[in-house]
Amino acid sequence: MSGGEIDLSAWWMPFTANRQFKAAPRMLERAEGMHYYTPDGRQVLDGAAGLWCVNAGHGRAEIADAVGSALRHLDYAPPFQMGHPLAFEAAEALKAILPDGLDRIFFVNSGSEAADTALKIARAYHVARGEPNRVWLVGRERGYHGVNFGGLSVGGIPNNRAAFGPLLREVDHIRHTLDLERNAFARGQPEHGAKLADDLLRVIAEHGAEKIAAVMVEPMAGSTGVLPPPIGYLERLRSICDEHGILLIFDEVITGFGRLGAPFAAQRFGVTPDVLNMAKGLTNGAIPMGAVAVRGEVHDALMNGPPGAIELLHGYTYSGHPAASAAMIATLGIYSREKLFDRARELEPYWQDAIHSLRQSPNVIDVRDIGLVGAVELAPLAGRPGARGYDVLCRAFASGLLVRVTADTIALSPPLIISEAQIDELVDKLRTAIADSSKELQ
Ligand code: PMP
């Protein structure tokens, strides 16, 4: 299928080089289990869970059925001063798998909205506690928190910000944790780098702890190339935040829902944030949905205003939408019945060995992994950063494998239902794509 009879002129595609795409379109028409299918019937192994979303695999009828019956029953309910049972039920189901203490949940529709919501909650929390000067928001270099202005400001990808003029002012960043000199080819959490958390002390010294509202990080940075946290790093970040009254926000949009072999990275690493953002796997990717979970105390601080007043003037027309709530309840049911988070943990050693076998491939300068996530970093082509990564993406897709590429790093995150034989197939296809690309792209 080359795009043929489909008119490609109206849809302005996101995150896509639209001009290039029109010349060589890659279309996905259908999905089932571990596979996508192209319009001409080619099977494509999903090495990316769509985009870190489809943790239970594609085409789950339970989710489609739940959404259909929810919509037939209650198509929409307004969020102003009204509730509906499914949203409360969804929050209750989610609470059961969240880290202890995170027991209030705010619904949004995406990871970007979760990021901006979390940042607003952090500021409002300090205002409610009588510390209105705590306005600074701290992110981390190479952090990704979506594309809205808050997440974009706190995110650490200069390229993403370049076209959009001034962003939030009271924002600073701590250093990222990628260290190819000391940690290349580390398996699981890298050994070196816990001390990088102390970079927060530099930021505190510069602005004053009493002015800082929150630090937001991904426990494992995903979009900028898969950076598992160094051993001890998150613990150190947690204790610095505690010492200085700063809220710690984990953006678990990628790491949530079993990706790291536990419900959330917080449980995997034994570090509980004050605020936890999620999306993607929350509905297995089937319906746009995100959430922000907060420690009871954060919620309670905001409940102290005059009776009858709205405590947090924030929300979306579709917050807790019936279709999304139903999709979420059905998704969490599948994760639990099929024990998919445990399955990810059990598969991890096999996965780790398989992807680290790519160390021998040409131009590979690092292999990283944690849970059912992997990354293969290629040496950039002189003067053309990203060219190698994109070439491998195209070759992999032509051979029947979907991967996610960020610059010259190939990120892997298959649905948690993947079999060992499919892990082998994924790695073999990628090995061939990297080898062919190295031969032809000089
Ligand atoms: N935070 C993180 C950690 C993400 O990985 C993403 C998306 N990849 C987002 C936020 C933004 O999510 P969305 O695209 O749903 O707005």
Q: What kind and span of H or E run contains 313?
A: none
User: 349-383, pLDDT tens digit by residue?
Assistant: 999 999 999 999 999 999 999 999 999 999 999 99
- Substitution site in 142, 144, 220 for ligand 1 pocket (most atoms within 8 Å of beta carbon): 144
| In the chain, % of residues over pLDDT 90 | 96
Q: How far is the CA of 289 from the centre of ligand 1 (A)?
A: 11
- For 61-337, CATH gives 3.40.640.10
Residues 356-395 as b or e (16 or more Cβ within 10 Å = b): bebeebebbebbbbbbbbbbbbbebbeeeeebbbbbbbeb
Regarding the beta carbon of 115 and ligand 1, being less than 6 Å apart is answered yes
Neighbours of 349 (CB within 10 A): 11
**Is the separation of the CB atoms in 217 and 251 below 8 Å?**
yes
Q: Which atom of ligand 1 sits closest to the CA of residue 277?
A: 1
Q: How far is the CA of 108 from the centre of ligand 1 (A)?
A: 12
Q: Which of 16-25, 92-101, 409-418, 424-433 has the lowest mean pLDDT?
A: 16-25
Residue 345 has pLDDT above 60, yes or no: yes
Regarding the beta carbon of 254 and ligand 1, being less than 6 Å apart is answered yes
Please give the average per-residue pLDDT across 421-438, as a whole number.
Answer: 98
| In the chain, % of residues over pLDDT 70 | 99
User: 234-290, pLDDT tens digit by residue?
Assistant: 999 999 999 999 999 999 999 999 999 999 999 999 999 999 999 999 999 999 999
- Substitution site in 145, 276, 318 for ligand 1 pocket (most atoms within 8 Å of beta carbon): 145
CA distance 128 to 34: 47
442 pLDDT band, cuts 50/70/90, is: confident
- Which is nearest to 139 in space by CA: 194, 102, 179, 176? 176
Would you kindly state where each structural domain of the chain is located, as residue ranges?
A: 18-56+339-440, 61-337
Regarding the beta carbon of 111 and ligand 1, being less than 6 Å apart is answered yes
4 pLDDT band, cuts 50/70/90, is: low
Q: Which atom of ligand 1 sits closest to the CA of residue 290?
A: 15
Q: Domain 18-56+339-440: give its CATH superfamily.
A: Aspartate Aminotransferase, domain 1 (3.90.1150.10)
User: 46-90, pLDDT tens digit by residue?
Assistant: 999 999 999 999 999 999 999 999 999 999 999 999 999 999 999
Is the sign of the CA dihedral 427, 432, 435, 436 positive or negative?
Answer: negative
ipTM above 0.85, yes or no: yes
